[in-house]
Amino acid sequence: MDDRVSLDDLVKGAKGLSAEEKTAARRILLAISSGGREMAQLLATGPLRGLTGAAGAVNVQGEEVQAFDEIAQEVFTRTLRESASVALLVSEERADPESLGGGTGSFHVAMDPLDGSSNLAVSGPVGSIFCAYRPAPSKSADLAPEVLASVAAPVMAAYVLYSVSTLLVVSFGSEVRQYALDPSRGEFLPLPGAVRFPEKGSRMISLNAGNASRWREGDQRYLRSLDGTSYTARYVGALVMDFHRNLLKGGLYLYPGDLPKESKGAGTAHPEGKLRLLYEAIPMALIARAAGGEAVDGHRPILEVPPVHIHQRVPLVVGTASLVAEYLRIVSSP
């Protein structure tokens, strides 16, 4: 059955949103679509304009900023501001939340405007990730605590995948829908069917084994347990691409924390993992759950991790529910 659902109809069917929130959610999705369309065009011609390398600056995570990271930041900040539906915006590329002045029914939005940007140098896939949070009733004078208070209520998650085609994937928590950019019309058009992790899918395992000597014993044990079993190793190094492939085919994405600093040699950088709670782990967890999958931080569901910082990192294990359960069993039983 060809049950394509337009973005408008997806918003109309979203459960638990007021009429004002539905209007805001629709405008935010239009802002993401329009920014995604603009980014797809810019990325396609990036190599011709020399836009693949580092810009030389360093972002709030201490990472070198690629030119496109900043371009994506500006594109999506503009489209989200124009939506008039975002109160506060948190971005990987900015130390502090920015007030975008959205009116009644507005959400706080956390975004990673360009995920996997180190792939740009080789024309590899990249993505943009977004999560809309419902503001908590009591307002704080400071912006960061106000965003953190809203993190308990993620309402909508979306990502744009820029690859051989440009896809928009959206969920309000009950189902996951895909939209493909038609460049000739400049529009994201719905693809048929709700997306779910396949019941009897592949066993794609996505992890950076080059970091394994720095992982905790449980994660190393999980890696050893794969030896001799039937699985396929796939790792692009862009969360959006690795997650999306596993969502469609069946699989597990794993980015654990490193051992505490004193136990490791030089290069130790991510005791809590590399990925960020608000704009990477939670949106992927919302989408994974809505697609019948699961997401954990190594012990507990990602959606139960208490938020303490807007740029908080968290270990992430996400994918097919049975593979996440298998991971949890192996890390917890020496």
Q: Does 46 bind ligand AFP (CB under 6 A)?
A: no
Q: Say which amino acid occupies 203.
A: R
C-beta closer to ligand AFP: residue 192 or 237:
237
Name the 3-class secondary structure at 226. Answer: helix
- Characterize 12-37 residue by residue with b for buried, 16 or more Cβ atoms within 10 angstroms of its Cβ, and e for exposed: eebeebeeebbbbbbbbbbbbbbbbb
Q: Which of 27, 37, 274, 311 binds ligand AFP (CB under 6 A)?
A: 274
C-beta closer to ligand AFP: residue 44 or 121:
121
C-beta closer to ligand AFP: residue 196 or 234:
234
Q: Can you tell me the distance from the alpha carbon of 72 to that of 242, in angstroms, rounded to the nearest whole number? A: 20
| Distinct helix (H) and strand (E) counts, the chain | 8, 15
Rounded to a whole number of angstroms, the CA Rg of the chain reads: 19
Per the CB < 8 A criterion, the answer to whether 80 and 149 are in contact is no
Q: Does 246 bind ligand AFP (CB under 6 A)?
A: no
C-beta closer to ligand AFP: residue 239 or 287:
239
Site for ligand AFP in 202-231 (CB under 6 A): 208
Q: Does 268 bind ligand AFP (CB under 6 A)?
A: no
Per the CB < 8 A criterion, the answer to whether 164 and 158 are in contact is no
Q: Does 43 bind ligand AFP (CB under 6 A)?
A: no
Q: Does 116 bind ligand AFP (CB under 6 A)?
A: yes
Q: Does 93 bind ligand AFP (CB under 6 A)?
A: no
Q: Which of 149, 238, 254, 331 binds ligand AFP (CB under 6 A)?
A: 238
Q: Does 115 bind ligand AFP (CB under 6 A)?
A: yes
Q: Of the ranges 133-141, 186-194, 217-225, 238-246, which one interacts with ligand AFP (CB under 6 A)?
A: 238-246
Q: DSSP letters along 167-212, please?
A: EEEEESSS-EEEEEEETTTTEEEEPSS-----TT---EEE--GGGG
Q: Does 63 bind ligand AFP (CB under 6 A)?
A: yes
Q: Can you tell me the distance from the alpha carbon of 202 to that of 230, in angstroms, rounded to the nearest whole number? A: 9
Residue 6 phi/psi, 5-degree rounding, is -65, 160
Per the CB < 8 A criterion, the answer to whether 196 and 288 are in contact is no
Q: Which of 13, 16, 186, 237 binds ligand AFP (CB under 6 A)?
A: 237
Q: Kindly state the number of chain residues that form the binding site for ligand AFP, as judged by CB under 6 A.
A: 12
Q: Does 301 bind ligand AFP (CB under 6 A)?
A: no
User: Which residues on adjacent β-strands are paired with residue 318?
Assistant: 253, 295
Site for ligand AFP in 119-148 (CB under 6 A): none
Q: Of the ranges 148-156, 159-167, 196-204, 233-241, which one interacts with ligand AFP (CB under 6 A)?
A: 233-241
Q: Does 239 bind ligand AFP (CB under 6 A)?
A: yes
Q: Does 151 bind ligand AFP (CB under 6 A)?
A: no
Residues at the contact surface with ligand AFP, assessed by CB under 6 A: 63, 115-118, 208, 237-239, 242, 274-275
